[in-house]
Amino acid sequence: MADVVASIRVMPDSADRDLNKLMEALKAAMPASGKLQGMNLKPIAFGLKAIMVTVTVDDNAGGTEPVEEAFSKVEGVESVNVEATGRAF
């Protein structure tokens, strides 16, 4: 079993979106195949902030794809992009 740590950037659909509620919705949407390690906000431009999510997933269970799909279905999410991946130790 190979664990992978991934940093995922989640962009809200609006600068006016309540990011605390969106972060709670992302936590609730986290599939069982992954483990949430942390979340923080990253300023982008003009008041828009991205939610940076760090997760650990089993590479043999589809990698980050189940997490990406689950996050993209959350209301208020504009886009989901994997920024970086690496092996968990």
Q: Are strands 34-45 and 48-58 parallel, antiparallel or unpaired?
A: antiparallel
The one-character DSSP state at 13 is S
Distance of alpha carbon 84 from alpha carbon 30, whole angstroms:
18
**Tens of pLDDT along 32-43?**
888 999 999 999
- Domain spanning 3-87 has what CATH number? 3.30.70.60
Tens digits of per-residue pLDDT, 4-35?
A: 899 999 999 998 999 999 999 999 999 988 89
pLDDT at 70 over 90: yes
Sequence-ordered alpha helix ranges (H) in 6-64: 19-29
- The reply to whether the predicted model has a pTM over 0.85 is yes
